[in-house]
Structure 1
Amino acid sequence: MRISMKYSIAALFVILSSISINAQEIVSPNGKVKVVLNLPEKNAAHNLSYKALYKIGSKFVEVLPYSKLGINRAEEQFADNLRFIAASKPAAIHDKYEMICGKRHECENFATEKTFSFENSDHQPLDIVFRVYNDGVAFRYVFPNQSDIKINITSEATTYVLPEKTFRWMQPYDLSYEKFYPLSKTGLSANKEQEWGFPALYKVNNQPVWALISEADVTENNCAAKLSNLKNANEYKVTYPSARDNFKQEGVITTLPWHSQWHTLIIGKLSDIVESTLITDVSEPNQIKDTEWIKPGAVSWIYWANNHGSKDYQKVVEYVDLAVEMNWPYVLIDWEWDVMANGGDINKAVDYARSKGIKPMMWYNSGTSWLDPTPNDRLLTAEKRAKEFSWLNKIGVYGIKVDFFAGDQQDMMAYYIDILKDAAKHHLMVNFHGATVPRGWARTYPNLMTTEAVYGAEWYNNNEILTDKAAAHNATLPFTRNVVGSMDYTPVTFSNSQHPHITSYAHELALSVVFESGFQHFADSPSAYKSLPEEPKNFLKEVPAAWDDTKLIDGVPTEKVIIARKKGNQWYIGGLNGKDTPQTLLIKFDFLDKGIHDLHLIKDGKDDKSFSSEIIKIKKGSIVKVECLSRGGFVGVIK
């Protein structure tokens, strides 16, 4: 018995040695973020996985337990049959660039990059490139060999594993990304479909560490992905979109070499999540040489209060006049402008706006077959875009809003990028509506000013759901959707459209700062803005739409948020109470330079439809308490 046990132990040792795992580490330049890959030795085929950790004090906390890696083509699998070949030496990444719109004008990032090379069982190569940034992790798959033969990349094994009972804020997948981000500890959706759109936020259990899953640098040779946890509620698999009626393709059709999008995981304190530029950090640099014509700004927007308003020339004139009075540079002429009547047509409306010093922009249907608001099908081909954009240049239009995209398939990714490229040739700025979430294109094509992909104020027109959920939803978006790019929520409404809102007037005013968008489409009627007291009205006349810096002062998803944004030598602060009960919000001024500053504060008044204001002397380290009504808020300017 003793001899048998002795030989059994020895045999077990030999077996374990033959499949031993070589754990390779990559650490961020600041030492805070670490990735560990389990790599098989001795050419053993293996299920490849990685985990991510974050340093708190002297200890590393597991942010993402071991999670599977891999990708598949129709003719070849690169998942559980990978043999490790080699790893590159660590390379230092240090990148500086400028953004025309976004949370920060001057962006700088540091990372450590390593490339891991593998072969599958048919000796076909696969590289996986990892970058570990000071605020997160990015990795992508690369097929490095050369071939002109078309291949079909069908799926990924990529999975994000979350511990049980992890607090998570994830949006059920929707073609237009217009759903809420409900708090969940189970990962189960109400409709049991178990598909989720990017970005996806979670908090590491019992630790002050957060993570946001998304993707970036999607090209015309990629589709956009989503997450599915159908098999296990705590395992979120990267999933490609299904074919649709007029696009039968699954996955990606391409030649080689090829690379995937960057899979991204922003990691750190909640402020690290909100302030991160990781999505643009990993995206291709600016492809537009001349950018002087690209100007962020506020927009008067006709749709919310009028729906069919752009058919009515006189209504359009009212919104041009509103832009003049409010010092907003733009007016958007929305759908049905091609059938404009009541005193003028689109040419006359554009001429009127230009005569008043207001730059007009125009709406387009992308050409989807399932929605027919006009004008339809003017952008679907390069020839049609060239004709339409030349006409817009001729009459003096500065930008376009393109609506109703059909999904996240590869052809739609190519369509988005083609629109951005062709619009840039004609010096036209772009707003994507009814669209996918931002995936880094604002760096590559900075004429992309904003994207909808949010359950925004427009939904007050559609049903009553937003009325009760808006405050908590608004206090969640800065930690989720708005992290990954400009967000066309169409904010700051004081009157009611089809359905009422019960957020306070000061809450609504604060959305102009809390929500970042290169085009900030102010959605209410002219009478609503004109009837504001002088101080909030003047605030809206001056609030920027692009920022030099962004700081999260305080916040908890669904409960509260305070964000400070800098433009020039002024800080603007916005705070939201996401609760249905009054709440005191604390502004901590640790971010200020030395000296005494004046804080001009506009906050809730005696009721939810009034304001109060004061000027407070502050300095670095000061703390100011702001009493907010239920679903209330405030704004401030530091001069």
Structure 2
Amino acid sequence: MERRMSMLKWISLMALATGIAGCMHVEKNDSSSIMPRASAVEPNVYVDDQGQLMYSLKRAGTPVVMPSKMGITLEGVELGAGVVLSAQPAKRIEGSFEWLGNSAVVENNYTAQNYAVTHSASGRKWMLETRLYDTGFAFRYVVPGAGSQRVDGEDTTWNLPTDAELWHRQNGDSFQYYWSKSKAADIEAGFNAQLNVTVELSDGSYASLNEGGSFSFSGASLEFNGSNEANTIFADDKEGWTIEGEVATPWRIVMTGPDLNTLVNCTLVAAVCPAPDQALYPEGCHTDWIVPGRSLWQWWGYWDPGTQWEKQRWFVDNAAALGCLYYMVDEGWEHPRQGWATETRTAWEAMKELADYAETKGVRLLVWRGYPTNEEKYWSGMETVEKRTAFYVNSKKAGIYGVKIDFMDSESVVHSTFMETCLKEAAGYELMVNYHGAPKPTGAERTYPNQITREGVVGMEHNKWETIPRSHYATSPFTRFLAGSADFTPTTFQPGFVKGTTFALQLAQPIVYTSPVLHWADKPQYYLNSPAVDLIRSMPTTWDETIVLPSSKIGIQAAYVRRKGQDWYVGIINGSDDAVEQSLDLSFLGEGRFAATLFKDVPGQPVVLKKELLIAERGDSLAVRMSPGGGFVAVFRKLEARPYGGGIYGQQVVALRFVEGAEVRYTLDGSEPTVTSTKYTEPFTVRESCRLRAKVVSGDGKGTEISARFTSVPKLHFARSGAPCIAQPFPFHRSCSGRLL
């Protein structure tokens, strides 16, 4: 037995690379050597003395998962008990794909090792599929069959080290709960925890327990038993369900690494999922109708009155003034009390009218629909193919670019099947999808890149009716976001809703929290009057590179560095109750000098945001001082505009900021600047809608380009003051002399 276990451990693999969910387009897969490679991640798949299929996992010699059961129960038969195991030849897979998230391209390399499993009592044969990555281990069960097969449950267990600390949250229908930290043995027996669970190991390294590829399968959660072990259960399908033909479970995943940077950049949850169908997504996640961007969202700031018809053009104008590509029309627009439908116009005809107006402002509409039918609220529902088809057809006719589907509130097989089906159907109408009231992500955005974001998180929405604990802001990046992007709906500058945080923490959220479509939640005047308005107008929503700084600690601090093109963004969230002073090493910067803009806390003044302009370069360092519940933001660019697009109220003076000695050319008709385009020498005035494009043609930052849309809009009057709010450009200079020390 010992010799067989030893051979299986060797054959069970050793290899890897990191994954980050992805789409296709430049995807490539090359199978090569079947020989396993050396890796810090060491899985062991074997059969114990009782004939039970088992696994364990170490990383660099440290136990991550202690000996735990594998298996699935079909038709009352535990197919992992009393088995014979036979390892198949291993296969090395080398691949990459483009992605919308923490990085632009993902290297997706792993060793695939399958095991033929025979259930001795029944003679039934099935396959255990495993993948070994440099940053984790994934496995699933594939049971062939014809006709109906009843899934009664899964026998996978997760036996965790006694000294490991777990970050976990309650599993429930809203999937919006806070995270708690404790040892597995201290979690009450019977507690149902939602996957994913983040684990702090005794040697200072980390792990994350997840599932990936849960398509048309009930979502898994963990039930703790009062010891160090948790069982895999299907809380929303406790009585089981039936599958036609082959049963292929989602992947059970353990991501692991020496630090939080490794964990954040390891999104195996989506990497295990199939590549997108080129018939639906010819360019994968860069298919032309899948467009990330910023959106104005009215529900948080205005609740029900925000959907009233007479306010809608005003919201579109504000979206344009904020440089948003989208405006989200949320719940209530179909209700007669909101005035969309009249005796001479349907609500959909009104939507088309609004979309046509928005198009003239460079803004695209997104529209809400509830999943369940609710006649009292005038929700038509999405439960049937007829209802969905009518919704898609009407959306397309009205000129809608994406849909927000809400209130699934379950990960039962019925709801998970709906969510997969909806993504396929919506792709046929070239519609992006944002799921709210939805369970955890399991990588669907890899296979269906029109899933542009989803909720399943306690986001800023909750700050409307409760106070979000400071620690939550620094916990979510290392827990929920490890499974995929989240629609956190960030950033309030309303003093009454900061609630224990600061403006700087609020501004750091969209840098730390990934969402390819980012919904600004607050009333637009608070953004337009903020010194950060130009960052809000130009904030990226996807990234080329992500670095988690060593000062990060779950629940205490989330310190992120992001790169988009040649520009760098730093967002730091202080989730603690203490003031923090630390140094920020700028060694991550590229070559040359950068025009830096800093946003800082002001001690004792949580609703004041201090803005500083500097010139910085690699080798410099910054002193960072954060208030309790505070934050810090820094942006390093080779070229930027002030204002960075937005609304024109008659006319707007525009200046460009860049490093001294560079030469910049620009156009105002959207054409690409060349060496013969207008040379920037001083601020200029725009008086009508235009697309500014500017480019560094020589000197520091050569090749850097920016684009900003200016849109003519009416003066924006706000209910509180009744006065027009016209955002004035913040004072700055073409280049700054204040070098960092």
Contact 1:313 1:341 in 2 (8 A): no
Contact 2:210 2:254 in 1 (8 A): yes
CA apart distance, 1:180: 0.7
Contact 2:184 2:229 in 1 (8 A): no
CA apart distance, 1:496: 5.8
Aligned partner of 2:232: which letter? V
Distance 1:343 1:114, change over 3 A: closer
Tell me which residue corresponds to 2:72.
71
Q: Among residues 410, 413, 420, which one is paired with 2:423 in the alignment?
A: 420
What does the per-residue CA deviation read over 1:385-417, in whole Å, with 9 as the maximum and x for residues that have no partner? Answer: 222211111111111110000411111111001
Tell me which residue corresponds to 2:151.
153
Tell me which residue corresponds to 2:62.
61
Contact 2:490 2:519 in 1 (8 A): yes
Matches within 5 A, 1:478-497: 478-495=477-494
Q: Among residues 438, 458, 461, which one is paired with 1:458 in the alignment?
A: 461
Q: Distance in 2 between matches of 1:267 and 1:507?
A: 28
Matches within 5 A, 1:186-197: 186=184, 188=186, 193-197=190-194
Q: Among residues 372, 389, 393, which one is paired with 1:367 in the alignment?
A: 372
Tell me which residue corresponds to 1:271.
261
Q: Distance in 2 between matches of 1:154 and 1:87?
A: 26
Q: Distance in 1 between matches of 2:132 and 2:358?
A: 49
Tell me which residue corresponds to 2:317.
321
CA apart distance, 1:258: 2.4
Corresponding position: 1:302 with 2:298: yes
SS at match of 2:537: helix
What does the per-residue CA deviation read over 1:295-335, in whole Å, with 9 as the maximum and x for residues that have no partner? Answer: 01111111112110344123333321211111001001111
CA apart distance, 1:559: 0.5
SS at match of 2:405: strand
Matches within 5 A, 1:284-433: 284-287=274-277, 288-290=280-282, 291-339=287-335, 344-345=340-341, 346=347, 347=350, 348-367=353-372, 374-433=377-436
Q: How many residues are paired up?
A: 595
Distance 1:174 1:465, change over 3 A: farther
SS at match of 2:244: strand
Tell me which residue corresponds to 2:103.
104
Q: Distance in 2 between matches of 1:284 and 1:250?
A: 29
SS at match of 1:634: strand
Contact 2:53 2:69 in 1 (8 A): yes
Distance 1:585 1:396, change over 3 A: farther
Contact 2:218 2:236 in 1 (8 A): no
Q: Distance in 2 between matches of 1:274 and 1:587?
A: 20
Corresponding position: 1:32 with 2:40: yes
Distance 1:389 1:430, change over 3 A: same
Corresponding position: 1:503 with 2:501: yes
SS at match of 1:218: coil
Q: Distance in 1 between matches of 2:185 and 2:392?
A: 45
Q: Distance in 2 between matches of 1:590 and 1:342?
A: 53
Q: Distance in 2 between matches of 1:596 and 1:300?
A: 33
CA apart distance, 1:182: 1.6
Contact 2:504 2:632 in 1 (8 A): yes
Instruction: Give aligned-pair identity as a percent.
Output: 26
Distance 1:211 1:432, change over 3 A: same
Tell me which residue corresponds to 1:8.
none
Tell me which residue corresponds to 2:164.
166
What does the per-residue CA deviation read over 1:68-87, in whole Å, with 9 as the maximum and x for residues that have no partner? Answer: 11111124221221122x11
CA apart distance, 1:352: 3.1
SS at match of 2:137: strand
What does the per-residue CA deviation read over 1:328-349, in whole Å, with 9 as the maximum and x for residues that have no partner? Answer: 0100111110126677554143
Corresponding position: 1:81 with 2:45: no
Contact 1:378 1:388 in 2 (8 A): no
Distance 1:255 1:341, change over 3 A: closer
Distance 1:123 1:335, change over 3 A: same
Q: Distance in 2 between matches of 1:66 and 1:621?
A: 47
Q: Distance in 2 between matches of 1:514 and 1:323?
A: 23
Q: Distance in 2 between matches of 1:242 and 1:306?
A: 34
Distance 1:569 1:169, change over 3 A: same
What does the per-residue CA deviation read over 1:47-101, in whole Å, with 9 as the maximum and x for residues that have no partner? Answer: 221111112xxxx2221111111111124221221122x11122102121112x2
Q: Distance in 2 between matches of 1:532 and 1:17?
A: 67
Corresponding position: 1:575 with 2:572: yes
Matches within 5 A, 1:3-14: none
Q: Distance in 1 between matches of 2:111 and 2:500?
A: 48
Aligned partner of 2:242: which letter? I
Q: Distance in 2 between matches of 1:212 and 1:321?
A: 43
Contact 2:221 2:234 in 1 (8 A): yes
SS at match of 2:500: coil
Contact 2:187 2:226 in 1 (8 A): no
Aligned partner of 2:44: which letter? V
CA apart distance, 1:132: 0.8
Tell me which residue corresponds to 1:6.
none
Aligned partner of 1:126: which letter? W
Contact 2:485 2:516 in 1 (8 A): yes
CA apart distance, 1:616: 4.4
Contact 2:236 2:410 in 1 (8 A): no
Structure 2, unpaired ranges of 5+: 17-37, 342-346, 638-741
CA apart distance, 1:204: 0.9
CA apart distance, 1:203: 0.9
Tell me which residue corresponds to 1:283.
273
Deviating more after overlay: 350-359 vs 21-30: 21-30
CA apart distance, 1:465: 4.0
- Normalized against structure 2, the TM-score is what? 0.77
Contact 2:45 2:56 in 1 (8 A): yes
Contact 2:298 2:307 in 1 (8 A): no
Q: Distance in 1 between matches of 2:318 and 2:548?
A: 32
Aligned partner of 1:262: which letter? W
Structure 1, unpaired ranges of 5+: 1-15, 244-248
Q: Distance in 1 between matches of 2:134 and 2:256?
A: 9
Q: Distance in 2 between matches of 1:530 and 1:389?
A: 34
SS at match of 2:366: strand
Q: Among residues 237, 248, 254, which one is paired with 2:243 in the alignment?
A: 254
SS at match of 1:141: strand
CA RMSD, 1 decimal: 2.2
Distance 1:521 1:69, change over 3 A: same
Contact 2:185 2:228 in 1 (8 A): yes
Q: Among residues 603, 607, 610, which one is paired with 1:609 in the alignment?
A: 607
SS at match of 2:563: strand
Corresponding position: 1:212 with 2:202: no
CA apart distance, 1:265: 0.8
Tell me which residue corresponds to 1:624.
622
What does the per-residue CA deviation read over 1:331-371, in whole Å, with 9 as the maximum and x for residues that have no partner? Answer: 01111101266775541433432332211111111016xx7
Aligned partner of 2:127: which letter? D
Distance 1:388 1:27, change over 3 A: same
Q: Distance in 1 between matches of 2:594 and 2:562?
A: 16
Deviating more after overlay: 159-168 vs 295-304: 159-168
CA apart distance, 1:21: 7.0
Q: Distance in 1 between matches of 2:575 and 2:185?
A: 23
Contact 2:175 2:439 in 1 (8 A): yes
What does the per-residue CA deviation read over 1:423-445, in whole Å, with 9 as the maximum and x for residues that have no partner? Answer: 11111111000001111111111
SS at match of 1:434: coil
Tell me which residue corresponds to 1:141.
141
Contact 2:334 2:340 in 1 (8 A): no
SS at match of 2:111: strand
